[in-house]
Each structure stands twice: as structure tokens, then as C-alpha cells.
Chains A and B, each alone.
Chain A
Amino acid sequence: MYKIIKKETVAPQVVAIEVDAPYIARHHQAGNFVVLRINERGERIPLTIADSDAKKGTITLLFQKIGKTTEALGKLNAGKAIRDIAGPLGHATPIKKYGHCVLVGGGIGAATLFPILKALKTEKNKVTTILGAREQKLIVWEDRFKEYSDEVLVTTDDGSSGRKGLVTEALKEIIESSKVKIVIAVGPIRMMQAVSELTRPYGVKTIVSLNPVMVEGTGMCGACRVNIAGKTKFACVEGPEFDAHEVDFEELVNRLGFYREEEAEAMKAFKKKKCKGHCKK
């Protein structure tokens, strides 16, 4: 059992929990994720490690309540425990001295980027962070990004915060005005795809973190396979980060929609039925 130490709502439907997991905290590197299962009947879902504290022995997970599992997870308060957490999984982000790096975070994609930002700054890179969302209240952890980034740009669709428009517009200006060495983009697939298409003609190395459906998360089942430069790769062990310019985004979108009906059914059943206690076990 992995105890929740702290819980915080960071945006509407977006929750951050700090969880006691000393071994995972000690080995966490930027880019890693965990697979968790809330209770005996739960499914295994992957979540990026948004932060960790090796001394305290905790990891922070940030998630959006969009399905049954994340809804149920969001109901667990500090003091409660998560039944299973395995990790840290996945390749670490390749961190070195690049020069000027741009991080592009869409919505809660920022959670994945935060440890990457910290690691890039340890290597003394110049980092510009672009945080984008539909509206101001959906921008997460702006203060944390400001603490570490050389510059933070916020874009919102409705102009309620920062500049009105898409992250790609802000990114384009930076690429054209500065010598950007690497772009790391994490967020909704269509956003990552748009970033990828934008940087391709400029020849700027671009990394995206993919979020396919996973089951066990250690390369055993192949549920998370993605098409990278025409080859099948397992995102859980060979990713989740890949060269954006080699990703078959259309296939990923198609595969992500495979269980949509079941996800809706589970959610409906969850909302209708009050738990009789098994979720607390």
C-alpha cells in the first residue's frame, strides 16, 4: 500500500497527490512514469511522475479526472492509500547541455515537463517554457515553472491569460528568433502533432511523450505499441518519449479510441453506483 501524504486540486478536475514511495522516489529520473492500481478491482494505469523528493521518499502524481480510475483516484484524500504502484518505468529523458531548450506543455502535459525542466537547468541550459490551455484556470503549475525556467510564456485559446492563441504560434516566433536546439512537447496528441509539424521544416530536434493505453507497463504485453518510423515500438520500455518527427500520430489516435465505449460504460456505472467499500480496501 502506498500512502497519500498530500492532496491538492491544482485546476478544475486536475489533482496533484504526493505519495509515499521511497524506492521509486530514489530512482526517479525525468521522463519516468509509474503504473498504479487503486484497488483490488482496479485497472492498471500509467501516470507520469511530476515530481519526487528522494529524501522524503515521496513522488508527486498529477492527473486529470477524465475516466473512472482517475475519478476514483481523485476521491482519495491524504491518509488513504493506493493499493499498487510500480516504477519508475520508461526511459529517462536524454538530459545534457543543449543550449536553448523549449518546453511546450498543453494542459496537464506540464506535469511531465516539470522534472525535465529541473534536470535541464541542472545542466545549465537556457529553458523557455510555453504553457498552453483553453483558459487561464486550466494552466497548471505556472508558479513552479517560473521558479526554474528562464522564461515562461502562457497561451490560452480565449485570451484569459497570457497571449490569445495556440502554443504553436508562440513556439514559431521563438524558433525564428533564437537558435533552439531542442523542443520537448507534452500534451494532447493533436497539440504534440502540431508542434511536430511546426518544427519539422526548421530541422529542430523534437521529443514528445506518448500516452498509449497500457496494461502492465513493463514490456510484457504490447498493449502500448506505437509506430515509430514505420517500426513497432513498445512505449512502456522503448519510450514513452520518441522523436516527434517519426511518430505515426494518426495510428496513435486510432488506438487510443479503441476502448472509448468501455470507458464511457465504466464511468456511467461508477457515477450511478455508490461504492460499497471495496475501493477503500
Chain B
Amino acid sequence: MRARDPKIRNKDFKEVSLGLTEKQAVKEASRCLQCKKPKCVEGCPVEIDIPGFISALRDSDFSGALHVIRKYNMLPAICGRVCPQENQCQGRCILGRKKTPISIGALERFSADYAVKKGNTEKTPKKKPNGHKVAVIGSGPAGLTVAADLARLGYDITIFEALHKPGGVLVYGIPEFRLPKKIIAREIEYVKSLGVKIKLNWVVGRTQTVDELFEEGFKAVFIGVGAGSPRYMSIPGENLNNVYFAAEFLTRVNLMKAEQFPKYDTPVKKAKKVAVIGGGNVAMDAARTALRLGAKKVYIVYRRTENEMPTRLEELEHAKEEGIICKFLSNPKEIIGDDKGYVKAMICDEMKLCEPDESGRRRPECSGKEFTLDVDQVIMAVGQASNPILVKSIKGLKLWGGGYIKIDEDGSSNIPGIFAGGDIATGAATVISAMGAGKRAARAIHTYISSLKKVRKR
């Protein structure tokens, strides 16, 4: 996919990838073999009819393509940008065995963006209201999917969002240069056009309890609050000034627009030499954000090698092009502060890879050597844990792994009427897997409420 010049784009927050032109999209779509048993669909967590929409694109029926996608996926402009396609649809493409697989992500994105560019208004399929209220807690990818799917079946949906803006991790976590806010806003408008209501500043568990929601007449509650609590390494120096958790650093910039301080009230510290710890998408996002805030040198410090990195391939490539320096096989062990309590350096152990661990990735081990990185800011992107506020407020809710909700395959918890999906049920994962969970939960909620009706009729 076309991208902006790395030397220019690393100084601003405008979108990096440019997407395909009409001509490119049709040409790319024409390469598709239209397999009888498409492997790509198997690789998609929401089972989009990929050959179906690609076939529409091939015939230059661009709005038709979007129509096909929308049947399965409520947020195509977002998924086209943030899905790890190389491990999903594209990774399974038959063409990829011999040469380049179809750029399915780019085509999905094109289909969604094209409709907007041309000002095509999509017809929103409306169903007769069935009068049943369902509460959705959290307005991230899982919550938006459940809400949209159920609204299309005629349910009366209210989403409760703790922050002042809907979108969850899409808004506070993923930077503008990777997923422009106006695209999220557009997708949320679409969900609202289905009749979904969104209540902001609503911290369920505190502002209102789940029991109270049931008392208010909600027949079912879906919990999609994400794994919103940053993990940290517990190494000396972690609470020095200029040590950020990636969640805070990114929230300041993405949600609060700190890069525009003092026009916006929230500040963020701009540093010269920054070390970002971690190898996932969040680490890439934090590193590239630090660069855009004016850092001269930005390191990604990761304890394994490039092969084990969980990040999306495109993000790592973009980060490198923009000048991010990767320090592989490096494990931070102490952050050193100056006499005023500010970061001045970080000491890391040099690692070597040994046998694979439970995750299947080769386990890093200390080589006995260490080195010091001269930095004035450290950003930790070492994963997310479960946020306790809501789950602990629900009596009797079964949890696993210290705070994640235990659910069946369809998303139902041990309490009738309470469903969950996304990171709060699985631990930190991807946008698309949260959406897949949302889809399954929507189906289960529909079945559950339908069964309630039957019981009453008898």
C-alpha cells in the first residue's frame, strides 16, 4: 500500500498509509482466484465473505463491495487499517504460497473509504423494534459490534462508556497517524444511525451497578470493557519522572490531544532520547508518537528478537522507515534517575534465546552482559491486565487469571443475562478478535432473550 514519505510523516500526526486508488483496487481485486473453498474466510474472526466483496470490486461495484462487508463487519474502515492481516485472511491466501497474497486489508479499507469519499449514504437496514432493552458496557470494538448486531435485530441498545468519548481503545490507544479519529467517528455515527444510544461518563460499577441496570428493565448486559490496566515490570526507577506507561502517554496524546498543548489543556512531556519497552503494537504506537513529538532518538527495547515480536508487520516496517532504532535481546533492569528524580539512563541485560516456552516463542535468558542506554524518557508497553472496577462490583461473577471474565464459547458468563467478550474475557488481544467475540455474544444474547420470551408465553 502507498505510504507517505517517512522523513515527512514522522514529524506530523497525519495518516501514514494512503490506501489504494480505484485503479489499483480493481487491479488487485482481479488477481483474486475466487476459490471455491476460500481459506481467507477461515482466517477471518468475523467470517467476512471475502471473495464476495472482492468480486464486487473487480466489477468496479464499490458500494456493492461495502454492502457485502457490512453484513459481517460493522467497522470495515477500522479493520482495514488495524487488523493483523498477515496472520489472518491474507496469511491464508493461496496466492501467498507462491508469491504475494491478495492485499485483503487494503481492499477492505478501500471499500469503506470509497463510499465516504463519494458521499454515498449507506442505507441502514432498520428492523421493527422488539422492545427488549440490552445494555452494552464499553464502547470499544467488542461493544460496538454487539450493539450494532443487536440493533439490526430490533433490540433497544444503550452503550455505557466510562470516558468522555466513545470508541474505547480505538480512541485512546491507537494514534491518529494509524487510525484517524474522523474514521472512528464515522463508524460510530453508523452504529448510532441504527438506533443505538451512547451514555458517556458512565462508569458502570460506580455510576450505576449492573443489578440496577437489570432493575431498569435491561434484559441482558454485555461487558466489553477491555483489559484496561497497564502492566509494569517492577524494576527500580519505574516511578521516576518521565517514566510513562504507554497507556498514559498515548491517552494524553490520542484522547486529550496533548500534542496541541497549550491549545488543549493536557500536557505531555517531550523528550530527546526515548526508550520504549515492548514489542507489540502499543510499543510501536508509543515509539512513533514520541518521534512525532520531537524526540531525536527513539529506541524500541525488546527482550526477544524481531521474529518473536507480536506487532503487526506493517507497523514495525513503518517504524523502522521512520527512524526508530530496535534494540533486540535487551531486557531493562533498572531506570536511573538524576538528583531531581528525572530519568537519565536505563540499564539493560543482554539476552540470548533458549528453548521455546508455553507461548511457543523462544524464551530469552540473561547472557550475563549488560549495557546502559542514555535516555531521558522511558515508556513501558509491556501489556495490559484486567481492570478491576466493574468485574469486582458484580457479586458471584466467575473470573480466571486474576480478573478476566470466564465465558463459554458463545460469550455467556456464569450469571444468566450477563455476557462478555473482547480483552476482558480473553486478555489483551486484537480489535478484530474483540469484534468476533462481539458477534458471537450478540447471537447468544438474541437466543437468550428469545428463550425468555418463550418461557413467559407458556
Q: Report the nearest B residue to A90, measured CB to CB.
A: B206
Interface: B232 (CB within 8 A): yes
A 193-230 contacts with B by CB, 8 A = 215-216, 218-223, 225, 227
Interface: B79 (CB within 8 A): no
Residues of B within 8 A of A216 (CB): 162-163, 172, 251, 255
Which of B164, B206, B234, B267 makes the CB contact (< 8 A) with A89?
B206
Interface: A23 (CB within 8 A): yes
Interface: B269 (CB within 8 A): yes
A interface, by DSSP: helix, strand, loop or mixed? Answer: mixed
Stretch touching chain B among A50-58, A99-107, A140-148, A262-270: A262-270
Interface: B228 (CB within 8 A): yes
A255 touches B241 (CB 8 A): yes
Q: Report the nearest A residue to B229, measured CB to CB.
A: A219
Give the interface size bracket for A toward B.
35 or more
Q: When A41-B264, A84-B201, A251-B239 are in contact, do A223 and B162 touch as well, CB less than 8 Å?
A: no
Q: Report the nearest B residue to A248, measured CB to CB.
A: B239
Interface: B248 (CB within 8 A): yes
B 199-255 contacts with A by CB, 8 A = 200-203, 206-208, 228-230, 232, 234, 238-239, 241-242, 245, 247-248, 251-252, 255
B387 touches A232 (CB 8 A): no
Interface: A170 (CB within 8 A): no
Residues of B within 8 A of A44 (CB): 164, 256, 266
A87 touches B203 (CB 8 A): yes
Interface: B396 (CB within 8 A): no
Q: How many interface residues does B have (CB within 8 Å)? A: 41
CA distance A115 to B289 in the complex (A): 42
Question: Interface code A65-96, partner B: CB below 8 Å = 1, 0 otherwise?
Answer: 00011000000000000011111110000000
Interface: A24 (CB within 8 A): yes
B266 touches A43 (CB 8 A): yes
Residues of B within 8 A of A223 (CB): 245, 248
Distance between A21 CB and nearest chain B CB, rounded to angstroms: 9
Distance between A26 CB and nearest chain B CB, rounded to angstroms: 9
B234 touches A258 (CB 8 A): no
B201 touches A86 (CB 8 A): yes
Q: When A43-B266, A262-B261, A265-B262 are in contact, do A215 and B203 touch as well, CB less than 8 Å?
A: no
- A-side interface residues toward B, CB under 8 Å? 23-24, 27, 37, 41-44, 68-69, 83-89, 215-216, 218-223, 225, 227, 232, 234, 237, 251, 254-255, 257-259, 262-263, 265-266, 269
Q: Nearest 8 pairs between A and B by C-beta? A: A262-B267, A221-B248, A43-B265, A222-B245, A254-B341, A220-B228, A84-B164, A86-B201
